[in-house]
Structure 1
Amino acid sequence: MSEVVERWSSKRAFILAVAGAAIGLGNIWRFPYIAGENGGAVFFLLYVFFVLAMGLPIMAAEIMIGRAGRRPPIQALGTLAASVGRSQGWKLIGVLGLVTVFLVLSFYSVVSGWVLEYLREVVTGTVVTGPAEQVNASFGNFLEDPVRVVGNHTVFMVITMAVVAAGIAKGLEKLNNWLMPLLYLLMIALVIYAATTPGFGAAVHWLFTPDISKLSMKVVLNAMGHAFFTLAVGACALMAYGAYMPEHQSLPKAITIVALLDILVAILSGIAIFSVVFTEGFDPAGGPQLVFVTLPLALGALPLGHVLLGMFFALLLFATWTSSINMAEPMVSTLQDKGMRRPMAALWVGICVWAFGLLPALSFSSLKEVHLWAGQSIFDVITNIPSDLFLPLGGLLIAIFAIYVLDPSKAEEAYGAHHAGFVLWRAVTRYAAIPLVAIVLLAAALVMLKPFLSDNEVTRWVFAHIGA
């Protein structure tokens, strides 16, 4: 098959598309609770550093490969490897990427379905906002209801694949052009309200004034892992977007803007959420349930709380929607490259992801007694393995391919900047990004292998320092 003929219509469209891919659950759901569990400002500053030193260079590498190959990920990797006489085995990076996005999208759709449920309850006035026991019970009852969980999972997959089926100009680009600005407007509105709450000052201080006593190897590793996760790199999804990138766009300028937008959303969501948390005296280390339990409890006690809660879940839905579309795109474009029409490719991808997503969807109800790896639930395994292991492995291999396999002249052309900037990117990727992501991968592998490793002083010391 020939190279893709579709392109983003403008530089702005490409930036909004990549921003939509990067900004999702990682920024609005995961960042607040993981920052809460890791000391606030210390974690945040490390996260920003690792976004710049590790996330950005690998994001550039991934998009660069797609732009140089102008094909779906597997085909682009194979073509570029063949052009320099290297093994077609490098195509396996693309295969790993497809497996990763398939697994991630399957549970992403389920969690996004939770957001849909809460948004519906806010709109209909049935959301439970107190007392604490009832809020916890309401969330637990919902997870144990297979009809509601699967129903919301189904609705989310339908609206996601409908956009992907429409194509680049009519689907992905049009949605991003109005959804991303709206997302920022909603976020700013929430922060403006947060500024009027008693907990605003405490939230700002907690996020921006580091307490060095909170610094530990566990915090460092968590900051590295989150910086990698939040930029949506490592699954070849951005490689698919790179194939549609405009010819004369500067890649470093584009990804720098995306990284700044990504960090900005994390800051705004942190301020908005923790202002409410501190106002109501809740624990900032509230864990993954911070959004679904703590926020309804906190906002329900405030003036206009239901309005703010609706705005927040609408914001979260928009973010997860654009990220999910990004994950579906490489699977759909791969089937297109095999000769399948886009609408049919989107239908088949949607059906397969939806069917597999029934496993995490039912892991709190019909399948809650089923435990897999080291006693973990189905949901935990499907969530942890692709996010903690496959994404950094894919990112590491993508960076290695870009530095050591891709023709340097093609790489520089795809990078789209002055020679000095390209040389700097290569140096940062080779000597900073690759070693850092290798550390993330090693730490994740050790955590997953912990139940199978012998219990001795060495392993106890290692796991104590990485927080496992």
Structure 2
Amino acid sequence: MSKRDQFASKIGFILAAAGSAIGLGAIWKFPYMAGTNGGSVFIILFILCTLVIGLPILVAEFMIGRRGQSDAVTSFKKQAPRTPWFLTGWLGFILSGIILSFYSVVGGWILSYLVRAIGFKLSSNDENFFAELFGNLTLNAWEVVLAQGAFLLIVILIISSGIQNGVEKASKWMMPLLFVFFIILAIRSMTLDGAMDGIKFMFVPDWSYLTGKTLLLALGQAFFSLSVGVAAMLTYASYLKKDVRLGSSAMNVAWMNIGISILAGLVIFPAVFALGFSPDQGPGLVFIIIPAVFQHIPLGSIFLIIFFILLLFATITSAIAMLEIVVATAMGSKFEKRKKYAWLCGIGIFIIGIPSALSFGKLADVQILGRSIFDFADFFTNSIGMPIGALLMALFAGYQLKRAEQLEELPVKPWVFTIWRILVRYVAPIAIIIVLYQGIKG
């Protein structure tokens, strides 16, 4: 039996964990959520919610994972034998598979756009061109399914190479490039004539947006953007050595996630305002508005290629975490069979995801509780599954683990530990229950 893999370095783990968190949530969802909810006020609330609610749960998940040194299911079985807590691990397994099944569809769209961008086919003076392009792409059954498969193939190849040679190596070069590309694009966007209106939108608060609804949306964004609740962070932390400090690692991941989200805003909003577009375009912002914005920028075609490359990197790093949870759970202690399980799980998720890929075309008439297959998978995982998963993580770390066990994994100053314990035992669960209620209600 081969030995269980581990991260070779702390920075490798932080970049991999940050990659899991920094996906479409930061680059695609954050800008349109901020754009439709007042900009700066939403951003302030998002930062506060990330640090007060998201960070304590992230630490909790790290704690459970490193203590277990196993896949999610086995970790709970080791730490709470003869109890139903192991079902939390299976919940993460199921949620990760469903998330990756529709997430890979969006990854396929990004690949399709990138291929067109590289071929300089994303250029038109027709203002309806990009809306029609996106509509035609999602209706093209062969292209969306093949692109989804191509995206998953990349992820499978990385996962099959293991933690050090696959996940860690990929994260070590993709994440720094992600930051570099974003900084280049942000500088270009902020130097456009009229860009200051977009910067003001992001950093000068309009307090009329300070409402309960905005707070709830910011809490949901902070919560989901850290990838907590699906055992992704638990699984990554299970490959950690004991000398890595969990508190500082979690803080680094949280700040990197906030940083990329703000950089995404600095790429998008100054350009959107400078060129007369509206910031409240919703989910179509990345695939319809952004390509149109780049049409009006010198060397826009080159910058558009860079944008879709970094969007692809961010999507891949999150997808890696999702597939790793499924593979780690499926293979258990059969570490030598990682490649086999990576392919089996990847192909299985591809098949499960085909209905989501076709839900905008051939299966558009198929509805589940009034939603398309794609939208239902998104709703079920984001609004119900992830909050339940995160609530269970917080309760397990806060109540099932003894104080001495918590201190062993989190050797920080007494007052820091006390604050974390209060947040994870009381504040975070209440906040999660509110998000869960609103998600089911909405």
Deviation string 1:33-75 (CA, Å, 9 cap, x unpaired) is 1111111111111100100111000011011101011111111
Q: State the match for 1:46 in structure 2.
A: 45
The one-letter amino acid of 1:119's match is: L
Deviation string 1:232-270 (CA, Å, 9 cap, x unpaired) is 110011100011112111111111111111101011110
The one-letter amino acid of 1:215's match is: L
Q: Does 1:186 align with 2:185?
A: no
Q: State the match for 2:352 in structure 1.
A: 356
Moved more, 193-202 or 222-231: 193-202
Q: State the match for 1:463 in structure 2.
A: none
Shift of 1:195: 2.0
**Shift in CA distance, 416/249, structure 1 to aligned 2, threshold 3 Å:** farther
Q: State the match for 2:362 in structure 1.
A: 366
Contact 1:68 1:411 (8 Å CA) reproduced = no
Give the Cα–Cα distance (whole angstroms) in 1 for the partners of residues 12 and 262 of structure 2: 24
Shift of 1:218: 1.6
Contact 1:198 1:275 (8 Å CA) reproduced = no
Q: State the match for 1:267 in structure 2.
A: 262
Give the Cα–Cα distance (whole angstroms) in 1 for the partners of residues 330 and 123 of structure 2: 43
Q: 1:88 aligns with which of 67, 83, 87?
A: 83
Shift of 1:416: 4.1
Contact 2:102 2:378 (8 Å CA) reproduced = yes
Q: State the match for 1:232 in structure 2.
A: 227
Q: Which runs of 5+ in 1 are unaligned?
A: 448-468
Q: State the match for 1:466 in structure 2.
A: none
Give the Cα–Cα distance (whole angstroms) in 1 for the partners of residues 280 and 146 of structure 2: 31
Q: State the match for 1:309 in structure 2.
A: 304
> Secondary structure of 2:84's partner?
helix
Give the Cα–Cα distance (whole angstroms) in 2 for the partners of residues 192 and 301 of structure 1: 16
The one-letter amino acid of 2:340's match is: M
Contact 1:412 1:419 (8 Å CA) reproduced = no
TM-score if structure 1 supplies the norm length? 0.92
> Secondary structure of 2:145's partner?
helix
Q: State the match for 1:30 in structure 2.
A: 29
Give the Cα–Cα distance (whole angstroms) in 1 for the partners of residues 346 and 194 of structure 2: 43
**Shift in CA distance, 129/400, structure 1 to aligned 2, threshold 3 Å:** farther
The one-letter amino acid of 1:127's match is: L
Shift of 1:345: 0.8
Work out the number of aligned pairs and report it. 441
Matches within 5 A, 1:32-431: 32-82=31-81, 87-337=82-332, 339=334, 341-373=337-369, 375-431=370-426
Give the Cα–Cα distance (whole angstroms) in 2 for the partners of residues 139 and 446 of structure 1: 30
Give the Cα–Cα distance (whole angstroms) in 2 for the partners of residues 412 and 242 of structure 1: 17
The one-letter amino acid of 1:424's match is: I
> Secondary structure of 1:136's partner?
helix
Deviation string 1:260-303 (CA, Å, 9 cap, x unpaired) is 11101011110111111101111100010001000111111221
Shift of 1:196: 1.1
Give the Cα–Cα distance (whole angstroms) in 2 for the partners of residues 199 and 115 of structure 1: 29
Q: State the match for 1:455 in structure 2.
A: none
Give the Cα–Cα distance (whole angstroms) in 1 for the partners of residues 411 and 188 of structure 2: 41
Shift of 1:419: 4.3
Contact 1:250 1:417 (8 Å CA) reproduced = no
Deviation string 1:83-135 (CA, Å, 9 cap, x unpaired) is xxxx4211111111111111111111000111111110010111244322222
Q: Which runs of 5+ in 2 are unaligned?
A: none
> Secondary structure of 1:288's partner?
helix
Q: State the match for 1:5 in structure 2.
A: 4
Shift of 1:317: 0.2
**Shift in CA distance, 249/417, structure 1 to aligned 2, threshold 3 Å:** farther
**Shift in CA distance, 6/410, structure 1 to aligned 2, threshold 3 Å:** farther
> Secondary structure of 1:267's partner?
helix
Moved more, 221-230 or 191-200: 191-200
Deviation string 1:421-450 (CA, Å, 9 cap, x unpaired) is 323211121232121111111111111xxx
Contact 1:249 1:416 (8 Å CA) reproduced = no
> Secondary structure of 1:88's partner?
coil
> Secondary structure of 2:196's partner?
helix
**Shift in CA distance, 332/318, structure 1 to aligned 2, threshold 3 Å:** same
Give the Cα–Cα distance (whole angstroms) in 2 for the partners of residues 389 and 433 of structure 1: 16
Give the Cα–Cα distance (whole angstroms) in 2 for the partners of residues 216 and 129 of structure 1: 40
Q: State the match for 2:13 in structure 1.
A: 14
Q: State the match for 1:454 in structure 2.
A: none
Moved more, 337-346 or 296-305: 337-346
RMSD, aligned CA: 1.4
**Shift in CA distance, 338/247, structure 1 to aligned 2, threshold 3 Å:** closer
> Secondary structure of 1:126's partner?
coil
TM-score if structure 2 supplies the norm length? 0.97
Give the Cα–Cα distance (whole angstroms) in 1 for the partners of residues 257 and 194 of structure 2: 24
Q: Does 1:441 align with 2:440?
A: no
Give the Cα–Cα distance (whole angstroms) in 2 for the partners of residues 54 and 379 of structure 1: 28
